[in-house]
A and B are shown apart, each in its own frame.
Chain A
Amino acid sequence: MPVVELSYSSLQKLIGKASKKQIADSLPFLGLDIESEDKDLVRIEYSPNRPDYSTDFGIALGMQGLLGIKTGAIKLKIKKSKQYAISVKSDVTKVRPFVTGIVAKNGKIDDKTIKQLMVMQEDLHFGIGRKRKKSSIGIHDLDKIQFPLVYATSDRKYKFTPLNSTKELSIDEILKTTEVGKDYGDLLANSSKMPLILDANKKTISFPPIINAAVTTVTTKTKNLFVEVTGINKADAEDMLSVVATILQSAGFSLESVQISGAKNSSPKLAERKMIVDPLLINQTLGLNLNNSKIVSSLKKSRLDATLKGKNIVCVIPAYRFDIFGPMDLVEEVALGYGIQNLEPTMSPSQTLGQTNPISLQLKSLSQTMIGLGYLEALNSSLTSKRVLYEMANREPQTIISVRDSKSQEHTILRDSILPGLLENLSKNIHESYPQKLFETGTVFSSGNPVSEERCFSGISAHQDANFTEIKSVLQSALKTGFDIEIKTKTTEHPSFEKGHCADVVINNKTIGVIGEINSKIIENYKIRVPVVGFEISLSESILKYL
């Protein structure tokens, strides 16, 4: 979940009439987790579905609602303007087909605001923008731009001076040499056409979704902003724009519209939606008995508008709340407005009888039997390494199931046997007192479609006098006493075991595993200093077979 750093004092100013403590206590009930605090600064984790909470302006809007200082939907006031227009050329259709935008005037931009806008921009890019793929934002100094603008394409040799640079670079150079070029160049794939926004003087404003031009850089001297969003889907681009517009308006800017036309593009509406919700659904879902006016006031505290229409409630949802899909989302808004802390937990009597899964019962019983035999239970990961599974255990890999791009070298393949992990455990405990006796039950994997998952059981004993007879006796007793299963052992060979001291474990003429004295070469590999004996059997073929 994304994290943002805010200051209590600026939140207080924006919210009005709220103490620092009130704010701190209420943050979690907006769905914001306090990560850490340091005097005035507070680091907050917010949900990716609420990008408006990436700035203190957005949090202030929510908090005003929750504390009842200002409630109801936030209306965007956009002045219709013919001054600002973008015409879209059809050549962008295959590269990045949609552009939208808005103008924000007469705001006060200090360093803190710039920083917050940048954080919001990055979070929008990452979350709903899917790393700029679906949509991306450019924020510009309006006064450096001559309207009308053109959204069109050029070839890769086209040159302009990008943000944070003082010299002209070709698009190819930007993609190859700049950080953002390297990070996001893939989004434009191998297209020979590159999207560009140019102003009336043919000056480059932006190269979406990669970088803005240096000329429109926003500084603390900037008064008026132009925001453009480009993307592969019109609705997504407008969603993103609606968040930026809402935040800029609450930061004190006045908004003016931008006319967009050409190649299936049109001016953004940023309109409210209406949605109907049945109070019965709300009360049933929350386990409450709220009257309609309480529901309406709760929705308003969540900064939505609501009116009663017949027995239903009609909700008005601002454009930036595109996280609201259907009535159930409104139920949650009621719960938040009502206050989660006001919901008293209740127990409804169970209509059902609980039951442990028979497999769990058998595994537990096996575990108890092994403990009775003096064996300590071990737990190892299913994800392991070739080193442990094959190299050290002297086994030949058959078909390996690997996971892609593991961050840990010790966890790259799924185990097809439990025993090597237990040997590794002994190896890490050579300084502990002997005898060392371990067992583990767990899942092993083998390739197929679907992948086969089988429960296996392995035991191991290490001490000066460990021998075949001892381990056979243990397995025999465990299965006989615990489950009335008789085993036989038949001579076999296995790379992990000493030749002539190794047997197949057989039940009803069926081989279910292997048992024996561990090969001295392997004991050496693991740097163990005493003899080791062990076994591994399939449980699906023995104990669990009878379920």
Chain B
Amino acid sequence: MSQVFHDIEKKIIISLKDNPKQTPENLEKSTGLSSDQIRRGIEWLKLKELANVDESKSSIIRLGKNGKESLQKGLPERRLLDLLKTKSKLSDLQKELGPVFGPAMGLARKNNWVETTSDNVSLKSPPSVLPGEKTLKQIGEQKLDVNQLDSDDLSGLLRRPDFVVEEILKTKQISLTDSAKSLNLDNSSGGIDVEATVPATNVARTHPLKNTIDEIREIFVTLGFSEIYGNMTQSSFWNFDALFTPQDHPARELQDTFYLDGVSAKKIATPEQIKKVSESHKKNWRYQWDINEARKMVLRTHTTCVTIKHLAETKPDEARVFSLGRVFRNEKVSYKHLVEFNQIEGVVVGKDANLRNLMGIQREFYKRIGITKIKFWPTFFPYTEPSLQTMVYNERLGKWVELFGMGIFRPEVTKPLGITKPVLAWGGGIERIAMLKYGLDDVREFYNNNLNWLRSATKCQ
């Protein structure tokens, strides 16, 4: 514990060494410090385990309104007994005593100090000191601790309205602990307590999810990929049709996809692209392809629409491009589902591009984000063949979790768009990776903008 003391602490310790048990009020007087300084000083010393604070409660008695009046004029029953020495007629007594006559008469009769006949009252043999008179005098103008009074004599007064008032008083007694008693204050300099806790300074920083996004973008660039951009609102043609998803496919339904209300794209693609894509659908899926379905605008459900559009426009023999951005799914928001999240999606185009290369790029990518325990499983996507998924081992959960999906674009996708070379494609949600990095179990945390978390989130992996 720090051996550096503030002046306030020093003054309190010195005073307590002279006078070992003091109330804060006493300390104010003995040290000349303000009540606020004393309060803080005691708090500090308590934290350092140098001061004991004993709180005790005591009951304090003072006279109430009726008690004070009785102190001056005597208790109502005393006044009645005094009057009876000269008067005896009931109506006279009543007139003289006013409102206290009733209670006074009641008490006198109950204790057998008086005798009444039809309208006369006569004195019997009252005690020289009436109950309560002793206590009344003893308290007087003071406030006394209940322990200083005769409890029998007091109890009668306590039962009567506003004769005595009882207050509960909390008192603090400050004393030094044993270790404080042996302190030698001469050793401490006038320095500050450098070991004390201080308030946290809030740091301005990038959003944790943005950090992960930037990191992933960087990795893709260093692996030789160039970033392309595309719109978040897309025609169904590029989001679905161009990717060989039939128009009656369940994934295209309202309950999975956000359609823009009443918006239908005027221009979706070149006539050639539309013709070839629709032919591929008709031939392979055997249904009536409808251009109006392709015109429906959606919030993109994946970034693959951006990539395929780019490839259809540039028809490269060789390329490495990626697109990164928000995608949308009409799902119920939960700890593992958001309606809007980020996706990364990359493609390699080349005449010799093959599945093992695709797996190799994946392995390298994961290695660079710090994930080395991975395996590949076959899976299904409508627009790639063969298709794989990566499983990565989550140390914290102790299980394998699905991460990116990948595959080679089907000829049914590439041929109609004039893409002649194999296209390796893969992608997945960035939030999943960010959750691993920040040890989150609830994906909503990323978009809550909870300042406490934004200011303090730290990477765990």
Taking Cβ atoms with an 8 Å cutoff, the residues of A that contact B are 1, 28-31, 33, 47-50, 126-127, 130-131, 133-134, 233, 235-236, 284-288, 325-329, 331-332, 335-336, 340-341, 343-348, 350-357, 359-360, 364, 367, 370-383, 401-408, 410-411, 414, 425, 428-429, 432-433, 436-438, 443, 445, 447, 449-451, 453
Given A287-B354, A377-B205, also A354-B221 (CB < 8 A): yes
| B432 beta carbon closer than 8 Å to chain A | no
> Is A374 a contact partner of B204 (Cβ separation < 8 A)?
yes
Question: Which 3 pairs between the two chains have the least Cβ-Cβ distance?
Answer: A350-B224, A287-B354, A47-B380
Contacting pair A288 B248 (CB below 8 A)? no
Residues 279 to 306 of chain B near chain A (Cβ within 8 Å): 284, 286-287, 297, 299
A382 touches B223 (CB 8 A): no
Which chain A residues border B391 with CB–CB below 8 Å?
28
Are B263 and A346 in contact, with the CB atoms below 8 A?
Answer: no
Residue pair A428, B448 in contact (C-beta under 8 Å): yes
Q: Which residues of A contact B229 (CB under 8 A)?
A: 357, 359
Chain A residue nearest in CB terms to B254: A405
Please report the C-alpha to C-alpha distance between residue A456 and residue B358 in the assembled complex, in whole angstroms: 36
A1 CA to B248 CA, complexed, in Å: 16
Q: Tell me if A352 and B320 are in contact (CB < 8 A).
A: yes
Q: For the complex, what is the distance from the CA of A347 to the CA of B450, rounded to whole Å? A: 41
Contact A377 B206 (CB under 8 A): yes
A-chain residues with CB within 8 Å of residue B231 when the two chains form the complex: 450-451, 453
Q: Does B387 contact A (CB under 8 A)?
A: yes
Instruction: Report the separation of the CA atoms of residues A451 and B359 in the bound assembly, to the nearest whole angstrom.
Output: 37
Q: Complex Cα distance A486/B290, Å?
A: 51
Contact status of A332 and B386, CB under 8 A, knowing A235-B286, A325-B412: yes
Contact between chains at A371 and B260 (CB < 8 Å): no
Chain B residues, Cβ within 8 Å of A353: 224, 226
Question: In the assembled complex, which residues on chain A have CB atoms less than 8 Å from the CB atom of B222?
Answer: 354
Q: 9 interchain pairs (CB within 8 A)?
A: A29-B378, A328-B385, A331-B385, A341-B376, A351-B224, A360-B217, A406-B258, A443-B326, A451-B263
Q: When the two chains form their complex, are residues A345 and B447 in contact, meaning their CB atoms are under 8 A apart? A: no
| B354 adjacent to A29 (CB under 8 Å) | no
Binds A, one of B56-64, B65-73, B75-83, B332-340: B332-340
Given A381-B340, A432-B452, A347–B357 Cβ distance below 8 Å?
yes
Complex: chain B residue closest to A402, CB-CB: B261
A343/B449 in contact, CB under 8 A: no
B261 to A, closest residue via Cβ: A402
Which of the listed residues B254, B363, B386 has the most CB atoms from chain A within 10 Å of its own CB?
B386
Cα–Cα, bound, A505→B197 (Å):
44
- Within 8 Å of chain A (Cβ to Cβ): is B266? yes
CB B217 to nearest CB in A, in angstroms, measures 6
Dominant secondary structure at the B interface: mixed
Closest to A326 in B: B411
Is residue B174 contacting chain A, with contact meaning CB distance below 8 A? no
User: In the complex, are the beta carbons of B339 and A411 less than 8 A apart?
Assistant: yes
Set of chain A residues within 8 Å of B320, measured between Cβ atoms: 350, 352, 354
- 13 more CB-based (< 8 A) A-B contacts, given A336-B386, A371-B206: A50-B380, A130-B248, A343-B359, A343-B376, A346-B356, A347-B364, A357-B228, A371-B205, A379-B210, A381-B339, A403-B259, A405-B330, A411-B340
Closest to A348 in B: B357
Q: A-facing mask of B199-234, CB < 8 A → 1, else 0?
A: 000101111011000100110111111111101110
Distance of A126 Cα from B248 Cα, bound (Å): 11
Contact A403 B260 (CB under 8 A): yes
Are B360 and A348 neighbours in the complex by a CB distance under 8 Å?
yes
Pick from A327, A380, A401 the residue with the most CB of B within 10 Å. Answer: A401
Contact with A along B315-331 (1 / 0, CB 8 A): 00011100000101011
* CB-based contact A405/B339 at 8 Å: no
Expressed in whole angstroms, the Cα–Cα distance for A403 and B299 within the complex equals 8
Contacts known (A379-B447, A382-B232); A285 close to B361, Cβ less than 8 A: no
Is B24 positioned at the interface, with any CB of A under 8 Å from its CB?
Answer: no
With A347-B360, A376-B205 in contact, is A404–B254 under 8 Å at CB?
yes
The answer on a CB contact under 8 Å between B422 and A285 is yes
Whether A407 pairs with B330 at a CB distance below 8 angstroms is yes
Report the nearest A residue to B258, measured CB to CB.
A403
Task: Closest A residue to B375 by CB, please name it.
Answer: A341
Query: How far does the Cβ of A408 sit from chain B's closest Cβ, in whole Å?
Result: 5
Which residues of chain A are near B297, meaning CB under 8 Å?
451
Q: Which residues of A contact B202 (CB under 8 A)?
A: 376, 433
Give 1 or 0 for each of B335-367: 1 = CB within 8 Å of chain A CB.
000111000000000101111110111111000
Query: Bound complex: CA of A286 vs CA of B326, how far in Å?
Result: 32
Within 8 A of A (CB), among B160-186: none
- B259 near A404 with CB under 8 A, answer yes
- Chain B, Cβ-Cβ closest to A430: B451
Q: A133-B248, A325-B412, A335-B386 are in contact. Are A450 and B233 (CB under 8 A)?
A: yes
Complex-state Cα separation, A441 to B408, whole angstroms: 34
Instruction: Answer whether A453 and B232 are a contact pair too, CB < 8 Å, given A379-B446, A380-B449, A383-B340.
Output: yes
Complex-state Cα separation, A148 to B320, whole angstroms: 62
List the B side residues contacting A287 at CB < 8 Å: 354-357
Return the chain A residue nearest B354 by Cβ: A287
Across the interface, name the chain B residue whose C-beta is closest to A344.
Answer: B356
Measured in the bound complex, the distance between the Cα atoms of B386 and A327 in whole Å is 11
- Nearest CB to that of B316 among chain A residues? A352
Given that A332-B385, A350-B224, A408-B333 are known contacts, is A340 also in contact with B364, CB under 8 Å in the complex? no
Q: What separation, in Å, do the CA atoms of A133 and B356 have in the docked complex?
A: 40
Instruction: Check B436 for interface membership: any CB of A closer than 8 A.
Output: no
